[in-house]
Structure 1
Amino acid sequence: MEKLNNDWLTDGLIDFEYKKYTLLAYFQEVRKSFNKVELYPVLNELIQHYDNLNKLKEGKDSIESKFPKEVNGLDVARLKIFYKQMLHDDEIMKELEDIVEYALPMFKGTLEEGKEIYEFVETQCEVIPIGLLPLYTDEGYFFLGNPTGELTVHRYQMMKFESPAQTYRGINTTRIDKINKGIGETFENLKLNLIKKFADLPNPATYLIQSKMIFPYQPTLVPIAKRLLIKHISTA
């Protein structure tokens, strides 16, 4: 689906009806994705737009910074004067405020829809350790499966991001194989095959993330599986 530009609020014509049409078209596309249970990157985009609007409303971000700084064919001096005049125009500022007030509940409601879908998909997935887990679980493998019997094999590595207020955990993953698990073949045997193939991880943490239902693979199942694995390892 077509993205909504980060500067959609101040890009182009600043007119309530025009922006309303732009938003309605965007949310129509979002709901098409949700109807197909496709969550990403749509959900991340919604969160970003919603956060940006809240910051604007709370005065944490300057509307002035949202205006483009360069336009081909105009000199810098005229451009600065033009935007300064626009931002001191009470009618334009009122129009922006009306657009923000209209957009915020739309983003909030659509985000809630997306989160409900996310939570449903999450309830349909289970993280199961394969064999004995080593003490070091920040690197290893996971199998991602669904009711069709197909499995994708991924290598993962946990990461930490630190900020002054909090430490966040992320994950890097690489898909390394796609297999059809044969009758009588165990996940323990599949894990042994990985150990033989990749000698740099002689005792890897290995998990099965099994979905009870078939969901879109890249837009939904993979990102939710990664978040489930982060949660599982972080709380183990």
Structure 2
Amino acid sequence: MSDTAEILREHLGKALWDTCTMVGIATVVGVVFGTALAVVLYLTQARLFTPNRLVNTVVGFVVNAIRSLPFLILLVVLIPLIQLCIGDPYTPAGGAIALSIAAIPFFARIAESAFADVDPGLLEAAVSTGAPLRQIIAGAVFPQALPSFIRGIVLTVISLLGYSAMVGTIGAGGIGDLAIQYGYNRYETGVLIAIVVLLVLLVQLIQWAGDRLALRFTH
């Protein structure tokens, strides 16, 4: 028990910081670029805007191709690319790059689904007024899709939190690395239990905050 407490005291703070950094960077990158892809998919599919079957098919194929890979396989595939970019892929920075690439197509489909749920009647009314496309997207589509959009961000953060634990299996830092290096390899069951409890609490807190925020913006 004393060994477990000592390990947690020395390493948990840094491991938690590395995880939060990786997940935070990946969430921002995933939401920004994923939203951009979602807008392209939405606009090229919706008949009210600028339907383009070729663009929609190509972008959709790329998104689905990346999403079809389990994250652990994607992580292994990306190691040479990450090594080319930053030198050492077995760091929190390398983990953040891998998580970001996984987050973009994941969030793109979530955001596209949120946009698709917007009331078509509202969009037809907006188009009939002659409003420019940018104004329709910013003033009608995004506000109506915002609750689903927020829930999608929450789902992305929680998924990335789980993915970050897999990053630890290659020694890239974070609480997953702590669980593997100390909890599993050194047979410190207390470390594993502490990390499981921490992950459960983090997910509950994130989900609670996300639900409250989404409810606030529900029309």
Query: Which category describes the TM-score, using the shorter chain as reference length?
Result: 0.3 to 0.5
Name the structure where strand makes up a greater proportion of residues.
1
Q: Which has the larger radius of gyration?
A: 1
Q: Highest relative contact order (Cα 8 Å, sep 6+), 1 or 2?
A: 2
Name the structure where helix makes up a greater proportion of residues.
2
Q: Under a length normalisation based on structure 2, what TM-score does the superposition of the two structures give?
A: 0.33
